[in-house]
Amino acid sequence: MHDEVIHEELRVFGNSKGKWRIIAELCGYFAVAGLIVPSLRDVSYVEALVITVIMIVAFSGFVLLVSRARVTVTRTEVRARGALRTTVIRRDRIAEAVHVKQLHVMGIPQGYLALLDDAGEPLWRTTTEKWTPQTLKVLTTSGRRRTVLDEAGPAEIVPRWPRLLPWQLAHPMLAFWGTTIGLLAVVGVVLGVTFVVWG
């Protein structure tokens, strides 16, 4: 039996820009930078052109890889394809879809959506700027229940859905201080080794 596709859409970029518009903007930025750099540094225009072309190809390749992401919702499944792998979820396993339109983490708002199973474990989760409003609407109706919050922070979300957010979003201050201490430790080790070697 054919599994009817209800909705299918590629990911979008900021402000719903398409991949070709993003690549065109990147080409413009790098072209301008390539013209300016020789006047600021001791670099020839040929060297600046080569560097510009390399940067354009590298960033364009990255955008094209990331833009492969797509969401496909059928009568029985949600398929979320990323740049490198695809997550397939049977719709009868989705107990609840939770969409937070503005998740406030350390003062930075972002949208967030998670599909949860009966135990509250995330089957799939994503930030929402990657998807159009239509895709988000279809995803929030893909399970047995749906919850849409206009805004919330980890303090409101974690007690109700303990595993909805990844650890770094559920505990942003601990994540921040852990990252800071880790970076300071790395810098300390590098400086210590440098002092021993060159001391």
What pLDDT digit, counting tens, does each position of 94-148 carry?
999 999 999 988 767 789 999 999 999 999 999 988 899 999 999 999 999 999 9
What residue ranges in 18-157 does DSSP mark as E strands? 70-74, 77-81, 86-90, 96-105, 108-116, 122-127, 145-152
Q: What is the pLDDT of residues 49-81, one digit of tens each?
A: 787 888 888 888 877 777 778 999 999 999 999
Query: At residue 86, does pLDDT exceed 60?
Result: yes
Amino acid (1-letter code) at residue 52: T
**d(Cα 46, Cα 52) in Å, to the nearest integer?**
10
Residues 6+ positions from 161 with CB-CB distance below 8 Å? 98, 114, 116, 120
Determine whether 30 is exposed, middle or buried from the number of CB atoms within 10 Å of its CB (0-12, 13-18, 19+): buried
- The mean pLDDT value of the chain amounts to 84
* Paired tokens of 193: 């080794």
Instruction: Label residue 49 exposed, middle or buried (CB < 10 Å: 0-12, 13-18, 19+).
Output: middle
Compute the distance between CA of residue 88 and CA of residue 57 in angstroms, rounded to an integer: 32
pTM of the model: 0.69
Measured CA to CA, the distance from residue 57 to residue 23 in angstroms comes to: 10
Note the pLDDT of residue 103: 92
Per residue in 146-172, pLDDT (tens digit) is 999 999 999 999 999 999 998 888 777
- Joined tokens for residue 140: 């929030």
Neighbouring residues of 26: CB distance < 8 A, sequence distance ≥ 6: 56, 59, 60, 63
